[in-house]
Chains A and B, each alone.
Chain A
Amino acid sequence: MSESLKKQNLELSKLNEDYESKYGFHDPVDYFHKGAKGINHEVVEMISKMKKEPKWMAEIRHEALEVFYKKEMPKWGNDHILNEIDFDDIYYFMKPIDAQKDNWDDVPEYIKKTFDKLGIPEAEKKFLGGVSAQYESEVVYHSMQEDLVKKGIIFLDMDSALREYPEIVREHFGSVIPMTDNKFAALNTAVWSGGSFIYVPKGVDVGIPLQAYFRINAENMGQFERTLIIADEGAKLHYIEGCTAPVYSTNSLHTAVVELKAMDDAYIRYTTIQNWSRNIYNLVTKRASAYKNSTIEWVDGNLGSRLTMKYPCVQLLGECAKGEILSVAFAGVDQHQDAGAKMIHAAPNTSSRITSKSISKDNGRATYRGMVKIHKNATGAKVSVECDALLIGEDARSDTYPTMEIDNDQVRVEHEARVSKVAEEQLFYLTSRGLTEDEARLLIVNGFMEPFTKELPLEYAVELNRLIELDMEGSIG
């Protein structure tokens, strides 16, 4: 047994019972800029002006706002919770400091403390190639290792990228997710701020992960980061994002748009550990375009939020492109994780694999919502979908909505779905070996999550197990 497994097992798991003390704090902040609540064309104009953007971007924003007004709320997912959102009661733009820092010492003390508590500088030193830390609407700290800069890798916050590389941004912005895609993608396009921009040149392997951390601090805040990642031909990249927020009595909104492009033979892995506090609506659109022989992997962990609606997508556009989506959702008290995956096969010999694992506990609800589409030209496509749900307690709920549209008969499709309860027999087996019932339940849950945790960098796997341990503490089986 490896040291890492031992460590994971020692730190065996209980999810988020200490969220309030660990992540739930907030800083009293004098914001450099804090607009009024509510959304309209003036707010959009103000954001654009403050950022000194090119005119074309301002036009895109205004157009997107009109789309947002016209689009209806999704009628699926959880419209009961969705309709709780009061768009007039949200701050759409908050600028904590006047300018971004690339030296940790220049970051204001209160923000430094926040990210220190969250372990960001430590992770940067240990195993990251670059870090971006977003606080409310803007990235406040950003750095990247010197040798990565020399290789020609661009890793910037989106606002800086728009200033420094307007042509690349203009070419790709909205090319994977158009503003008309859905109401929340339109909203993001209208008021986006922050997020990451990455360009990896042809044939370059970044080697070590790049990470962005997103922190919401204020009450009734809306965070709308916009991320665009391009891996040019043969390039390789692993990007990690993490997020937390304070615990407030009223809710905040997180609506991101993430677009990935893997050109021929490129590889992108995008890992998310979503651990928002349970007063965040997390409504995110994530989609990737995979060209010839390229690979896209979404590794998507959803632990926090009140409601998450997120369905990472891979459009397999080039021959032999591969897509993989591995997602885990943990739904505890009053949480609904409506997560899933979309695979669009639009070229021959493309292959995809979806593995979805969910755990529902107490009155938590986990939904798998998936879509696999195989176009007529996708001869030789291979698809495998596996959904596994684990229920803990009598009130926990799990639903599976798999959709498949297959327009070519020379394809191979496998689908498997399972729902299981932590069975009395399994518990008895483990307790008969000396483990307490809590230890036994935890071991079962950790085992269930194992296919996911083993894909994470060790530091994250350990943290994830620790979070699960906290959430499992004293649970009723």
Chain B
Amino acid sequence: MSDKKPILEFKDIHVEVEGKEVVKGVSMTINPGEIHAIMGKNGSGKSSLSNALMGHPSYTITKGEAYLKGESILDMEADERSRAGLFLAFQYPLAIPGVTVANFMRAALKSHRGADADMSDFRKLFKAAMTDLSVDQSFATRYINDGFSGGEKKRIEVLQMSMLNPAMALLDETDSGVDIDAIKIVSEGINRYQSENNGVLMVTHYQRLLNYVKPDKVHVMMDGKFVLTGGPELALKLEESGYEWLNEEKTGV
């Protein structure tokens, strides 16, 4: 029996960036085992929402509530949210010169396990995760995201997710800047991670990732609000017809 409490639940979230409101009251409930997708055009507020939920200091949540496994997260710093089980795969992962992928991953895993935790299994886990995501072993000693291609960066993001095994994964445009082979690899990684006990929220402009990772629900975001929620068929319709018909529907023209 899986836990019946929602993995992630947020209500009436408003987000401000540099004094401007970019998310204007959105709500969602993600139950264990569910995959949700937020679709929307650039500038619709979907990336701002995921950054704000993760605790980015430039994205201020001015109103609303957010709970991870029933626990309020809005007073937590980003690192506390991470250790509580929230994960964000970045749209633009940052390079940290001089810090190897292995050292970075070890530090991250250790922060989750606690300072005195036994890390003797790290090497094995890390190697297995690299193999799963077709990441060459040489990446272990490369500096994180330094000179990586788009596809390599996204694979390393999913690798981090699989190793930290969070309760709730936010995937921000994990399909952007990635060729079709990499999309397949990344999708397999997401599907491997996904289980009855965790939640996935994919934020994407395009439908193509959703061909490989099947969402239970699709939310369409425009101008900081969810304007429509439906099943996977909604994603297909957006792919065929674009976002314009929604504009008309919303404004009643």
Contacts and interface: CB of A to CB of B under 8 A. Distances in A.
Contacts of B106: 1, 6, 9
B99 interface: yes
A453 to B, nearest CB: 9
B209 interface: no
Interface residues of A, number: 28
Contacts of A448: 97-98
A426 B164 contact: no
Contact of B99 (A6, A424, A437, A446): A446
A447 B79 contact: no
B111 A443 contact: no
A437 B164 CA distance: 18
A444 B107 CA distance: 12
A443 B97 CA distance: 10
Interface stretch (A23-31, A32-40, A258-266, A428-436): A428-436
B31 interface: no
A433 B108 CA distance: 6
A434 B108 contact: yes
A449 interface: yes
A405 interface: no
B29 interface: no
B98 A434 contact: no
Contact of A436 (B54, B79, B103, B112): B79
B82 A433 contact: yes
Contacts of B140: 1
Interface residues of B, number: 35
B90 A435 contact: no
A163 B123 CA distance: 57
A81 interface: no
B99 A428 contact: no
- At the interface, is chain B mostly helix, strand, loop or mixed? helix
Contacts of A423: 94
Given A1-B141, A425-B94, A447-B98, A431 B79 contact: yes
Contacts of A450: 97-99
- At the interface, is chain A mostly helix, strand, loop or mixed? helix
A205 interface: no
A354 B141 CA distance: 24
Interface stretch (B33-41, B55-63, B243-251): B55-63
Contact of A433 (B141, B143, B164): B164
A436 B80 CA distance: 8
Contacts of A429: 90, 93-94, 96
B104 interface: yes
A1 B106 CA distance: 10
Contacts of A451: 98
Contacts of B77: 431, 437
A468 to B, nearest CB: 12
Interface in B155-178: 160, 164
Nearest to A447: B98
B234 interface: no
Given A424-B57, A424-B58, A432 B107 contact: no
A5 interface: yes
Contacts of B8: none
Nearest to A428: B56
Interface in A1-24: 1, 5-6, 9
A439 interface: yes
B201 to A, nearest CB: 15
A5 B100 contact: yes
B77 to A, nearest CB: 7
B100 to A, nearest CB: 7
Interface in A429-477: 429-437, 439-440, 443-444, 446-451
Contacts of A437: 77, 79
B82 A1 contact: no
B227 interface: no
B146 to A, nearest CB: 9
B28 interface: no
Contact of A446 (B78, B98, B108): B98
Given A5-B103, A424-B57, A434 B97 contact: no
B66 interface: no
26 contacts: A5-B102, A9-B103, A9-B107, A423-B94, A425-B94, A428-B56, A432-B79, A432-B81, A432-B82, A433-B82, A433-B160, A434-B79, A434-B112, A439-B107, A439-B111, A440-B79, A443-B96, A443-B99, A443-B103, A443-B104, A444-B99, A446-B98, A447-B96, A447-B97, A450-B97, A451-B98
Interface of A: 1, 5-6, 9, 423-426, 428-437, 439-440, 443-444, 446-451
- The 3 A-B pairs with the shortest beta carbon distances in the complex, nearest first, are A447-B98, A450-B98, A434-B111
Interface of B: 54-58, 77-79, 81-83, 87-88, 90, 93-94, 96-100, 102-104, 106-108, 111-112, 123, 140-141, 143, 160, 164
Given A433-B104, A439-B107, A448-B98, 14 more contacts: A5-B103, A424-B57, A426-B96, A432-B81, A432-B88, A433-B79, A433-B107, A434-B82, A434-B108, A435-B111, A437-B77, A443-B107, A444-B96, A447-B97
